[in-house]
Amino acid sequence: MIPFVRAIWPGRASAVLLALTLAACARGGTSSSDAGVAPSPGAVAQGLAPVPGAPDFVPEARVPLMAQPEWRVSAAGRVAEGAETMVVSNSTVASEAGDEILRAGGNAVDAAVATGFALSVSHPIAGNIGGGGFMVIRLPDGRAYALDYRETAPAAATREMFVGSDGKADPARSRDGHLAAGVPGAVAGMADALRRFGTMPLARVIAPAIRLAEQGFVVDSMLTLSIRRTSTQLKKWNGELFFRADGAPLEPGDTLKQPDLARTLRRIAERGAREFYEGETADLLVAEMQRGGGIITKRDLATYEAVWREPLRGRFKGYEVITMPPPSAGGIVLLETLNVVSGVDPMPPFGSARYVHLMAETFRRAYIERNTLVADPDFVKVPVARLLAPSHADSLRATIDMTHASATPATLPPVEGQHTTHYITADKAGMVVSTTTTINDLMGNKVVVRGAGFLLNDEMDDFTAAPGQPNLFGLVMGERNAVAPGKRMLSSMTPTIVVSPDGRPFMATGGAGGARISTTVTQLVLNALGNRMGIADAMRAPRFHHQAWPDKLQLEKGGFSQAVRDSLTAMGHAIEEAGPIVNAMGLMRVNGKWQGVPEPRREGGAVAH
């Protein structure tokens, strides 16, 4: 038998040849670069104008989703539909902030930035100015761009900084407290996106967020739960704002006002993004670091830059899939999986054991490569073109036995050496923006910057603290993703836009949920393009996940019949029943209108016009 690992890594010669054709992974330049991905040949690049003879997508709804009596995800009651514009996010008031900007004549980027700042107020468990993210933008003329505003490791970060005296990774330091924070990229990123593609001044798009912070918003049960879960740490690190006067966590129905955050946002609105990196906010952040033993300096902040990168592009059933390149591994997992399944015809029916098995085996292979080969492309060479080549998909497919699960190798092959939120905006010209932003863990590193009123991230935990040892999401990653000063930690975030064969925007999606984001986004795209589901069903359909290490197949509780579970067990899968998998957002263009669906498993709202 061919050893599994060898079989799924084709030879070096082909890798070199393919590397010569490598273009897609190149860094697109700095924030001033004009690099963007031109519309693909064959597609008619345009806004929303219908093309004669090209009918709009009509979901076939062939899949009997409610077949499982135990399946408890609510029926499709939350589809917002609009002829012109759409904002979908985890917070209705933040979606309304984006909608306000669209109503005032802003475009999808203006609205995305407004929604992003509003989420930092109304969805503080994940929305942020103390974290980072990725934004994929597609213009009405078909050009596409990827903005990387991922956090970076501070200059004083070291490879071993999260290894305890016992030689093991020490999650207490990489997840909670000051050392866990990477240099935040959110403000730089949002401001860069606005400068390049927006039409409104920063002050205008931040205004709804400032209003929300000053006037307050009504706390929901998700925020209360999050405060309860992290209250010990929040109380230690300036989190008083999340508690009532008697010290009890805010309850649903309470109003949360954030005067410090309002002042911070006002400073940014008045003085621009540099204020965050060089002004009073930077001073407050560095003072916080010094108080708590953190290492982010004024210089780390002043030198932070968001980076425009060329998005990855793939094709599936004639549709173009535009997604995030490294330092996210999400796009690679998504496109690699689509490449593998595009060679399987017919695909097994949705929800069958064979369908789940094929996808799980593909995810396993994609994750082995993700965890060992992908990292910050400015620090290591990532073989993107090789991983996305059709011949690579052919070799991966050839190793899949449709009757038996393969085994993930026990150790990493020697190649060398939860909190996030997704939002989508679309405008009447056809511009679509798909953004995922994160502070990583619930409440980030649980440190509120004193006087500035925002939570910091614990993104440093996305680095490999010690090879072979799992991070917060159970990801076991290799050397390439080791901590280094200035380096961006590997991500699973997968903001994605799908374009129909006639060149019009068709779908946008992305989500929160750590390592399970990439596999869920892949399933959402496949639900729509392969299984012909409408966006509501695509979002509601039961999900599953495999990430190679640990060698387990997670199935969403109640979503798969006993017979399917038994078959998968018989094939050799170690099945684990999982609660809701991923907090995703979905947008689809149907019959000439935008349809938006926030995650049916979680909170959120879509606002359409």
Residues at the site binding ligand DON, with contacts judged by CB under 6 A: 418-420, 438, 440, 459, 462, 491-493, 512-514, 517
How far is residue 597's CA from residue 76's CA, in Å, rounded to a whole number?
9
Under DSSP, the state recorded for 267 is H
How far is residue 204's CA from residue 187's CA, in Å, rounded to a whole number?
15
How far is residue 357's CA from residue 232's CA, in Å, rounded to a whole number?
42
Tell me how far CA of residue 576 lies from CA of 8, 523, 581, in angstroms.
25, 18, 12
Shortest distance in whole angstroms from residue 301 CB to ligand DON: 20
Report the sign of the C-alpha dihedral through residues 428, 434, 438, 442, in that order: positive
Is the CB of 206 or the CB of 508 nearer to ligand DON?
Answer: 508
Shortest distance in whole angstroms from residue 67 CB to ligand DON: 29
Is the CB of 399 or the CB of 418 nearer to ligand DON?
Answer: 418
Shortest distance in whole angstroms from residue 379 CB to ligand DON: 16
Q: Which residues of 586-595 are buried (b: 16+ CB within 10 A; e: fewer)?
A: bbbbbeeebb
Is the CB of 296 or the CB of 529 nearer to ligand DON?
Answer: 296
Helix (H, G, I), strand (E, B) or coil at 42: coil
Query: What six digits make up the tokens of 18?
Result: 């393919």
- Give residues with Cβ within 8 angstroms of 205, minimum separation 6: 101, 106, 110, 111, 113, 114, 117, 194, 198
- Contact by Cβ (8 Å): 530, 512: no
The strand ranges marked E within 259-408 are 307-309, 312-316, 319-323
HEC readout, 242-253: HECCCCCECCCC
Shortest distance in whole angstroms from residue 347 CB to ligand DON: 28
Active site residue 420: yes
Is the CB of 288 or the CB of 459 nearer to ligand DON?
Answer: 459
Exactly one of 152, 264, 362, 420 is catalytic; name it.
420
Is the CB of 18 or the CB of 375 nearer to ligand DON?
Answer: 375
Shortest distance in whole angstroms from residue 401 CB to ligand DON: 30
Please count the CA atoms within 13 angstroms of the CA of 15 that sit on its side-chain side.
11
C-alpha of 244 from chain center: 33
- Give residues with Cβ within 8 angstroms of 211, minimum separation 6: none
How far is residue 361's CA from residue 365's CA, in Å, rounded to a whole number?
6
Shortest distance in whole angstroms from residue 182 CB to ligand DON: 10
Shortest distance in whole angstroms from residue 512 CB to ligand DON: 4
Is the CB of 206 or the CB of 493 nearer to ligand DON?
Answer: 493
Bridge-based pairing state of the strands 575-578 and 553-556: parallel
Shortest distance in whole angstroms from residue 188 CB to ligand DON: 17
Is the CB of 406 or the CB of 418 nearer to ligand DON?
Answer: 418
What kind and span of H or E run contains 589?
Answer: strand 583-590
Is the CB of 440 or the CB of 522 nearer to ligand DON?
Answer: 440
Active-site residue list: 420
